[in-house]
């Protein structure tokens, strides 16, 4: 098992209460998004408007809104690919989740 179910449940509840929130994109995620939507301007930060859990395989997923509400592009990405500013609400909890998940994935515990 990759994720700690209690940690995920608590974090999901807090994330849902904090919607929408701003998150930065990792360089790898930004490159993937550019490849998926050529010509689309990919900002450094996006609004996260939805969160959900895709099981142990996918982890916590976030819907990103690019552009204005309702008429922009949307992407669903892993929370582990987002960058949260250090002073942002829940930054510590998100960072702990990301670190734990990356560590487990590197070990091959899928």
Query: Could you report the per-residue pLDDT of 57-71, keeping only the tens digit for each?
Result: 889 999 998 866 556
Residue 101 has pLDDT above 70, yes or no: yes
pLDDT tens digits for range 11-34 = 999 999 999 999 999 999 999 999
pLDDT of residue 70: 59
What are the residue ranges spanned by the domains of the chain? Answer: 5-107
Select from 100, 5, 110 the least CA-distant residue to 57: 110
If phi > 0 it is left, if psi is from -120 to 50 it is alpha, else beta; for residue 67 that is: left
């Amino acid at each position: 098992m990759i994720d700690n179910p209690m940690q995920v449940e608590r974090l999901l509840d807090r994330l849902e209460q904090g919607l929408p929130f701003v998150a930065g994109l990792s360089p790898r995620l930004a490159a993937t998004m550019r490849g998926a939507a050529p010509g689309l301007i990919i900002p450094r930060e996006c609004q996260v408007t939805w969160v959900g859990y895709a099981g142990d395989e996918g982890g916590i997923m976030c819907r990103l809104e690019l552009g204005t509400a309702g008429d922009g592009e949307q992407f669903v990405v892993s929370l582990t690919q987002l960058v949260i500013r250090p002073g942002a609400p829940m930054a510590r909890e998100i960072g702990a989740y990301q670190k734990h998940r990356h560590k487990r994935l590197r070990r091959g515990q899928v």
